[in-house]
Amino acid sequence: MQKLTLESRDETIALGEKIGRLLKAGDVLVLDGDLGAGKTTFTKGLAKGLDIPDLIKSPTFTIIREYQDGRLPLYHMDAYRLENGGAEDLGLEEYFDSDGVSVVEWAQFVEDELPSDFLAIHFKRTDDENTRVLEFEPHGEHFTTLVAQVTN
């Protein structure tokens, strides 16, 4: 698996921005890792790369937040509260199949709804307070190419 070590919040934002610039309509990214691992921070960078001017907030209490003012719409989801089920009722395929980019935090709770092509990123904290290790797990050709581009 391809890995990147990011030694500050700004590096994580910059990586998100770089990936955001490479995304296309219908792309799905799933982010997992402990609370505070950097999933929402990464998504802020991604939004920057999509030219979204809005402030990205954690969607924990809303499950899905939509941002329509960028190069592509961004659907930012936090599935944390779906640990007891309910993912089937959200109509996720409509987001995954749309003209926008979907980013899902805590995607283990929506596993059954995922499309065949997606990019999983596993976020890990380290002994250093400001360092995170990201592991990339691409599914499909588009994301395999994208991961090669950003990890080289």
Ligand X SMILES: Nc1ncnc2c1ncn2[C@@H]1O[C@H](COP(=O)(O)OP(=O)(O)O)[C@@H](O)[C@H]1O
The residue (of 40 and 102) whose beta carbon lies closer to ligand X is 40
CB 14 within 8 A of CB 49: no
The entry of ligand X, Mg ion, none that residue 132 binds, CB within 5 to 8 Å by partner kind: ligand X
CB 60 within 8 A of CB 81: yes
Tokens of 140: 């499909």
The residue (of 35 and 148) whose beta carbon lies closer to ligand X is 35
The residue (of 41 and 95) whose beta carbon lies closer to Mg ion is 41
Quick check: 131 binds Mg ion (CB under 5 A)?
no
For residue 21, give Cα distances in angstroms to 43, 52, 114: 12, 11, 22
The residue (of 41 and 102) whose beta carbon lies closer to ligand X is 41
Q: Which residue is nearest to ligand X (CB)?
A: 38
CA distance 94 to 136: 25
Binding test (CB under 5 A) with Mg ion, winner from 2, 17, 26, 58? 58
Where b means 16+ CB within 10 Å and e means fewer, 54-83 reads: eebeebeeebbbebeebebbbbbbbbbebe
Quick check: 40 binds Mg ion (CB under 5 A)?
yes
Quick check: 59 binds ligand X (CB under 6 A)?
no
Quick check: 12 binds ligand X (CB under 6 A)?
yes
